[in-house]
Structure 1
Amino acid sequence: MADSRLAKNLGSFFESLSFESPKEYLPPSLSKLINSNYYSKDTYFSQEEIRKGLNSNNDNEIYIVLKFLVRTLTTKQAYDEVNQLFPHVIKNINSRNLKIRRLVYYILLRFSDQQPDISLLSINAIQKSLSDKNPTSRALAIRCLSGITVPAILPILTLSLKKTVKDSSPLVRSASAIAIVKCYRLDRAYNGSSETIGELLSDQGSLTSQLYAFLDILLSDNDSRVVGSAIVCFRTVFPGCFDLIHGKLSHLIEKLNYLDSYSVELLLDLLTDYALVFLPTTEAKATAKTDQPAVSTESATANATKSVDAPSPSASGISSTISGSPSSSASQVLHDLLLNLKFLLYSDSPNVILAISRCVSTLFPFALDDLQLFPTLLKFTHSSARSSFDQSHRKELFLEEIDHLISLGLVSNVTKPQLSHFVPLSEDSDLASRLKIKILFRLIDSDNFDYIFNELKFIIDDSDKPIQLRRYSLQRLNGILVSDLSADQLSEVITFFMAKLRTPNDDLVSENITGLRQLIQVDVGTYVDVLIKLAGKLVDTTLLAPVAQASIIWLLGEFSIRGEKDTGGNISTLRRYLPDLFRLLVGKFKEFDTLVKLEILHAISKLITNDIYEAKKADEQYIIEDNATFKLFNYVLQLTKYDHDVDLRDRSRLVGSILPNVVYVANDGVKSGQMNVDELLGDFEIRRQCEEKIEGIEFAVYMFQTDKPRPVLGIQKESETLKCLEEYHRVTKDRLDPAYLEYYDEVRAQGFELKDYSKYVKSISGGGERPVKVLSTHGISEDVHGVGETLPRGSNVSKYKLQTLDDFLGDDGAADSEGTSS
């Protein structure tokens, strides 16, 4: 039999017994068995047992049954069964046992919207808990009261908040800030008002105005926990209501180093937006930093001590960039904020570091190097031994953040050890690897080109890397070819591209050709040697992939027949030998892929179009008799006319309808056999049609000889996958009229009344801050400050005693309650 069932049976058996003397005790081992194993994950209670347990006078039985109900809610989702027991659960809301009330509150909040009438019956008991001596009990009460989704409790909740925002316990005041958020949402959900916050605040008697006043009190609190919860409430309910912030700005900045990480993140975002609107920009001061002489360490330290006590010399140096002697209110605020950022950089929270990066890049871009923000961001891009989804997503976020700072020009002087952090690793996700490559190419210069290019070649040659990543590396390399590389570096890259044309993957070959095309398209005269070498590779059809062959033929037909300046004579030489090269290609026409055949047709069409147009511009007649180029063109048209590929045949008919030929204009048509062009030109009708097309060659020029744009690199925008970061960096464009800067300086100088309710000995709610004495389940007296929180046991801990079952099951709960109320 399982221990839980044995313990349950023993408990039921001894409960039915009556001892002759109240001083009789169970053995300690038996008491421990019943106490520890009466409830486990395998315990199951019937409906009758649950009702009996909920109506029991024994706190231990009630607690065990409530635990079973909560477990049922989280596993079996048996809402209907628990819903029927809801009235029996609410009966225990007046229990003096805090653990029982906690479970009752949980079930109450789950079913308050389904049984609002019964839920309202519990409000009086919850209000009584607001006057409990235990601050944890008061905090739970206000959070439970605000969580009941019944609109009728709004007036009661407002009165309770008026009381709890001035409670002596920071735990209660912090819970009041969360209750304000729930109260506001409940009001807007059930009243259905479409008014804005400004319109609601204009009515002094509205609920929103009362909540606004409560939040004003909480923001003025001296306790950091309360201020943190108030910041969360402000960002949720009253974003943009900066009237709450003006006088408390310095107070909030002082609390930055004492808040929890989530509150720090929200407060930094709030301070960044506030400074952009209500404080003068720091751009002029950043410019003045380079014009002014360097500030000595002694003067900088003297200035810094006006805001913080004994700051570090480095922090003092940073603060001096804002103002040599911070006298005005705005300068003092920026001075204090920058000093606090220096210490917040040691936080281990990724969200805080991102908030600091947003603040620094927006307000203090000139101080980024002094703050050492880049090494801090780099720290969060490291991979751990056990890489999880959250860590991978965090790495991607910080890589995107670093890329954002580099794009703004705020990161410079990156060392080689730091560059090594951006080399893609095997455990990196695809997005992280792309971001690292993107950052490497943003940081490339003459000093680190060799290091980055060698890493890039390793990635491209590594067959284990995803093909998409290898292609992306080539795309990034193509993006910097034209403007960012020297002649020696370009020569090294061209050699690398030429060596990779035999790569079996068409995507990689296409990117190699794209890079070479960029260079040739920008300056054919300079890179005509590259074009000649590419043409030489066409002689052996086994050296190149079909995509590479088609791309080279396109380059020859596109750029070798233009009228660019030919300083070295290489372009003219290439043009003279093009017909011979095309004759070699046409001789192997049937062996080529369809894509190569199509490019051969296009290249010869461009060649004959250029010859006809040049003769026409020189007022010369283009001779088609005994013309080797014209015969070659007609032969290619004949081959493509009877090709097995439908698209190729269709393109052949299109070209034949524009350019002069004998294949598509002959009366009887030209068969697939041997063709004599000169003999066909003896036909008057064929010759007339050819001459008409020669006269209308301008249309063919528009089709074949228009300038082509530079190739699109095809790089997808990675930030689309991280839109949240782009949205996070978006700041308001609103700026305050400079004429009002002095007015808001005066508003901030007026200050506020700092609230310090902890100095009161007795709470307004009726409870003190003294530790509460409760009796544990083992009969040991402990000091507790909250649910489940116990202080270390002292030397006066009482020993175990033998006790009766009545004492154990009945008096223990009473003693526990008495200890709680004492």
Structure 2
Amino acid sequence: MHPSNFAHWSFNTARDLTLEAARDASSARRSTAKELPSGQLKKLLDSRSEREILEGLRRVVTMSYRQPPSQTLPFFSHVIKNVASPSLQVKKLVYIYLIQHAEHEPDTALLSINTIQKSLTDSNPQLRALALRVMSSIRVPVISQIVSLGIKRGAGDMSPLVRKAAALAIPKCYRLDPNTEPQLLEYLSILLGDKQYFVTGAAVASFLELCPDRLDLIHPHYRSLVRKLVDMDEWGQLATLKLMLVYARKCFPRRTKKVRKAARNNDTTSKPTKSTRGFYESESESEEEKEQEQEQDMEEVVILDPDLELLLKGCQSLLQSRNAAVVIAVARTYLYLGTPEYLYQAIGPLISLLRSAGDIQHIALYNVVQVCLTHPEPFVKYYTHFLVRSTDAPHIWRLKLELLTLIFPYAQPRLQSLILAELSHFSHSGSLDSALVKESVRAIGRCSQSPATSPQTAARCLKLLLKHIGSADAHLVAESLEVIRHLIQRDPNAHRTTVVRLAKHLDAATSPQARASIIWLVGEFAGIDPENNIAADVLRILVKGFADEAEPAKLQIVLLAAKVYVHHLTANPPPEPPKQEAPKPSPSLLDDYHEEGGGFRDEHLEAPPRIEDVKEQEKPHIIEALYNYVLLLVRYDTSYDLRDRARVYKALLSTPTSTQLASLLLLAPKPVPHIPSPSETRKGYVVGSASLVIGDEGGVGGLRGYEDLPRWVKEGQEPDPALRDEVVSTSTSTYEAARSMTAADRLDVAAGGSGSRMTPDSRMSPGSLNGLGGDVGMGAGMSKEKQKEKTLDDWLAEESGSEEETETEEEDEDEEETDEEEESEYETDSESDDEGARLVK
């Protein structure tokens, strides 16, 4: 091209592109302008210009998303008549409008069905797939049979796009008319065995929606589905993994066997040897001890079914998927079907999801916590991903703190120190969120309460919590005391000094809940060491400021007074009252006469008892006085609950000699509290489910539609493994058979004669040359092994023999042809002689 012509062409092209961009920009500005009146919109829809029709359709579709259907229904007939437009853009917009409004105008929508049916025979596979997808989406039950016929045609279409659309249309047709289920199951069984992976993925999704319990349809396609799993699209992979999880638990029993554990280092100090036992003890050893030793040396190992192992190995490459849902689905498969070795392979990809966006990170954390509840050991080396960042949202750092507490008991001492330092930093940082401070304190408590935590580590956690008692933050002090109370209840004898230390901080504690917790601890463990008991002194100090205390603290003071009084009565039981004797007869006048004294006694002249002795007998013990004083104070309190509680204690202790019931109610041993992990309530939900993220807020049994995992099938009740054998269909078409043949087979067919020609069917069954079976073709007595053992000389001998046979056959054919020619000549001669004889006559 000449340079001047090229420059002219470039200039014109740039001008056209600029004008087109300007038109698009102006149309975009017009689309955002105010809405056109209905008359003008109808005029645009009825126009002959494709540009105006597109403009009108865009405006109507925009209105349908912004306004209720009643506002856009008047344009139904004007939109539907453009369904036969040759423009693909116009068709798509008409289809969008039709799907949204066909349910409101079913009679008018039926007018477009004929045009959509014609598109099913279009030469463009995209148009055929689009027509089938639209026709199945029209929610008019009358067309269910038409949709079923369209699915039947689409299931046998040459294009995989159309077959995929047919697979996705099956559940839509079922929703239109459930009576079409038998026909749809036939189409579905065909599509499940399709050779294209994206067709089978859509078929599996339809299977889960239509008939998830018909696992008999999956048996012949199980292995092919597992092989196609890697090539499916992300949504097909999710559907297939969900199906395989249910299929495996219903078709593969869980088999285990006991094997001997790996050899360990011999520890001479842990267990005496046989010779040592024989020298110092008896030579005989009981059979029970032998059985126990054998059981300790054995461990259970899961035996995987070959087909199940095929599935687990086929999922390994999906761990590199870019879709987070696929990674979580593979982890779920390994968790519920595989062994720990397979599960450990999915831990790293699960952790990598924590570097994703916030919403994906949130969902991934819930699933990581669910896996960590049962298998915390493999997560220890990823502890750096669970450290709280300043940019983390509350729902993120809550789950991270929980993960730190779950891996804490299984971490090394150095790592435990790092986790405790991290939690301690967030627990006393006043500038941070108060919710983060509370969660950090609770996390320290969970770290110390774990059964795998050593006593030294638990003591360190307690020291960290005791440092918070003198804090000015009332919420921090209250939360720390709550956790300290739980720790003391686990081992009261080891924390006597801790209770004394807490009692010293009563003056500094200002929070009512904090003061109530300390008072309860003092009263609960008042009877552990009666000689060094401080409960009575604490009660004496608290009574002075009883009127200024808050109601929670007052309740605990009354309870403390009752407990101290019960301990006093138990340690110093009062003397029992004298028994009532039988009534004596009325005294006579001579009763006062004493023979020894020689006269009557004058009571007025006897010395009266001393006042000090009477006061000592009437003066109560100081603990009893404190108890009565507390009851007196409560009697005039404004709290109804407090007064009722005091009446109960007064009734229980009304008889000092009978304190059994009061001891049972007040001094009964309390159960050791346990701080559960926040996700313990979600432990029953399946990994990867929406109910796991929502929790109990979605209902008691999860969200609607949630299904729990089925139980493992019992051994002996599983289906026959032969059902999963793939069936090679011999009724393939010539086109598919030709495509399945290799180039070498085609050359052999082209070069070979009629006797040695190999058909595609015979290639598929190597044991027969005519495709009828292994006993026909190469001779009934020749086996496959003999065919494989043939040498080159044998093949050449057979070929030479076949050539001789063909030569003899050709000679025989030549002789037969000459004989036939002679016979025909003889017949012609005889016929001519007959004609001559007739002429003579």
TM-score, normalised via structure 2 length: 0.67
Q: Deviations over 1:129-173 (max 9, x none)?
A: 111111111111111221222222222222222111111111111
Tell me how far 1:232 sits from its aligned partner: 1.5
Task: Check if 1:338 corresponds to 2:302.
Answer: no
| Structure 1 segment 653-732 matched on structure 2, within 5 A | 653-659=647-653, 693-711=655-673, 713=675, 717=679, 723-724=691-692, 731-732=708-709
| Counterpart code for 2:560 | A
1:646 to partner: Cα distance? 5.6
Counterpart code for 1:215: L
Question: Given the alignment of the two structures, is residue 630 of structure 1 paired with residue 624 of structure 2, yes or no?
Answer: yes
Counterpart mapping for 1:508-657 below 5 A: 508-538=476-506, 541-542=507-508, 545-562=511-528, 571-575=529-533, 578-589=535-546, 592-616=549-573, 625=619, 627-643=621-637, 647-657=641-651
Aligned to 1:454: 421
Q: Distance in 1 between matches of 2:512 and 2:46?
A: 85
- 8 Å Cα contact 1:624/1:630 also seen in 2: no
Letter in 1 for 2:425: F
> Given that residues 568 and 623 in structure 2 are in contact (C-alpha distance below 8 angstroms), is that contact kept between their aligned partners in structure 1?
no
Matches within 5 A, 1:23-102: 32=20, 36=24, 39-42=27-30, 46-77=37-68, 79-80=70-71, 82-102=72-92
Q: In structure 2, do the counterparts of structure 1 residues 393 and 718 end up closer, same or farther at CA, with 3 Å as the change threshold? A: farther
CA contact (8 A) 1:247 1:752 kept: no
Q: Please report how far the alpha carbon of residue 71 of structure 1 lies from its aligned counterpart in structure 2 after TM superposition.
A: 2.8
Aligned length: 629
Give, in whole Å, the separation in 2 of the partners of 1:559 and 1:758: 90
Match of 2:185 among 202, 207, 212: 212
Corresponding residue of 1:147: 137
- Structure 1 residue corresponding to 2:385, chosen from 421, 424, 433: 421
- Report deviation, 1:659: 3.5
2:371 paired residue number: 405
Deviations 1:628-654, CA, capped at 9 Å, x for gaps: 222333333344444565654554454
Q: Does residue 1:350 correspond to 2:324, yes or no? A: yes
Partner of residue 163, structure 1: 153
AA aligned to 1:379 is S
Compute the displacement of 1:707 (Å): 2.5
Gap change, CA 1:591 and 1:114, over 3 Å in 2:
closer
Given the superposition, is the C-alpha separation of residues 228 and 755 from structure 1 closer, same or farther in structure 2, using an over 3 Å criterion? farther
- Give the alignment partner of residue 503 of structure 1, picking from 471, 487, 502: 471
Instruction: Please say if residues 63 and 100 of structure 1, whose CA atoms lie closer than 8 Å, have aligned partners that are also in contact.
Output: yes
Residue number in structure 1 paired with 2:710: 733
Question: Which deviations, in whole Å up to 9, do the C-alpha atoms of 1:13-46 show, x marking residues without a partner?
Answer: xxxxxxxxxxxxxx96997489646743525655
Mapping for residues 366-377 of structure 1, pairs under 5 Å? 366-368=340-342, 371=345, 373-377=346-350
| Shift of residue 238, structure 1, vs aligned partner | 1.8
Task: State the distance in 2 between where 1:438 and 1:271 align.
Answer: 31
- The structure having more radius of gyration, on CA atoms, is 2
Partner of 1:485: 453
Range 246-255 or range 541-550, more displaced: 541-550
Q: Does 1:174 align with 2:174?
A: no
Alpha carbons of structure 1 residues 175 and 659: separation in structure 2 relative to 1, 3 Å: same
User: 2:408·2:447 contact (CA, 8 Å) conserved in 1?
Assistant: no
Alpha-carbon spacing, 1:335–1:754, altered in 2? closer, same or farther (3 Å): farther
Partner of 1:790: none
Overall identity of the aligned pairs, in %: 27
User: Kindly tell me: are residues 244 and 379 of structure 1, through their superposed partners in 2, closer, same or farther at Cα, counting changes over 3 Å?
Assistant: same
Q: Does 1:361 align with 2:338?
A: no
| C-alpha distance 756-623 of structure 1, shift in aligned 2 (>3 A) | farther
Q: Are the counterparts in 1 of residues 135 and 147 from structure 2 also a CA contact under 8 Å?
A: yes
Q: Does the Cα contact within 8 Å between 1:503 and 1:509 map onto a contact in 2?
A: yes
> For residues 758 and 431 of structure 1, what CA distance do their matches in structure 2 show?
61
Cα distance in structure 1, aligned partners of 2:389 and 2:77: 60
Q: Which runs of 5+ in 1 are unaligned?
A: 1-26, 189-205, 294-320, 324-329, 384-390, 563-570, 661-692, 762-822
1:94-121 Cα offsets, whole Å, 9 max, x none, are 2222222222222222222232222222
- The separation in 2 between residues aligned to 1:257 and 1:633, in whole angstroms, is 77
- AA aligned to 2:240 is L
Whether the 8 Å CA contact 2:347–2:379 is kept in 1: the answer is: no
* Alignment partner of 1:441 is 2:409: no
Deviations 1:346-390 (A, max 9, x none): 01111101111110001113223552x11211111236xxxxxxx
Rounded to whole Å, the distance in 2 between the matches of 1:547 and 1:422 is: 32
State the one-letter code of the partner of 1:66.
L
Q: Is the 8 A contact 2:331 2:343 kept in 1?
A: no
Match of 2:211 among 228, 238, 248: 238
- Are the equivalent residues in 1 in contact too, given 2:486–2:674 (CA < 8 A)? no
Distance 1:596 1:740 in 2: 63
Distance 1:70 1:379 in 2: 41
Change (3 A) 1:336 1:41: farther
> Does the 8 Å CA contact 1:322/1:335 hold for their aligned counterparts?
no
Higher mean C-alpha displacement, 710-719 vs 512-521: 710-719
Q: 1:397 offset after TM fit, Å?
A: 2.1
Summarize the Cα distance change of 1:746–1:45 in structure 2 as closer, same or farther, 3 Å threshold.
same
Instruction: Provide the C-alpha distance between the structure 2 equivalents of 1:332 and 1:619, rounded to a whole number of angstroms.
Output: 81
Describe the shift of the 1:759–1:134 C-alpha distance in structure 2 as closer, same or farther (beyond 3 A).
farther
2:102 maps to amino acid: S
CA, structure 1 residues 745+111, in 2 after alignment: closer, same or farther (shift >3 Å)? Answer: same
Residue 419 of structure 1: how far off its partner (Å): 0.9
1:469 equivalent in alignment to 2:436: yes
Greater RCO (Cα-Cα under 8 Å, separation 6 or more)? 1
Equivalent residue for 1:107? 97
Instruction: Report the secondary structure of 1:345's partner residue.
Output: helix
The separation in 2 between residues aligned to 1:756 and 1:508, in whole angstroms, is 76
Partner Cα separation in structure 2 for residue 94 and residue 581 of structure 1: 93
Distance 1:347-1:617 versus aligned 2 partners, 3 A rule: farther
Query: Is this contact kept in 1: 2:489–2:673, CA < 8 A?
Result: no
Q: Aligned letter for 1:125?
A: T
Deviations for 1:385-431, whole angstroms, at most 9, x for unmatched residues?
xxxxxx4332232222122222223643622xx21211222333333
Check if 1:279 corresponds to 2:286.
Answer: no
Question: What secondary structure sits across from 2:523 in the alignment?
Answer: helix
Shift in Å, 1:590: 5.0
- Secondary structure at 2:493 match in 1: coil
Determine the C-alpha separation between the residues in 2 that align with 1:729 and 1:32.
52
CA distance in 1, matches of 2:69, 2:343: 58
Asked if the contact 1:546/1:596 (under 8 Å) is kept, the reply is: yes
Q: Which amino acid aligns with 2:370?
A: H
Q: Which residue of 2 aligns with 1:671?
A: none
Native 8 Å contact 2:512 2:550 kept in 1: yes
Shift of 1:276: 1.0
Structure 2 Cα separation of the partners of residues 700 and 485 of structure 1: 37
Unaligned runs of 5+ in 2: 1-14, 265-300, 579-615, 696-701, 738-841
Q: Secondary structure at the match of 1:85?
A: helix
Question: Partners in 1 of 2:80 and 2:475 — Cα distance?
Answer: 69
Between stretches 51-60 and 134-143, larger displacement belongs to 51-60
How far is the alpha carbon of 1:336 from its aligned partner?
A: 2.4
Deviation at 1:245, TM superposition (A): 0.9
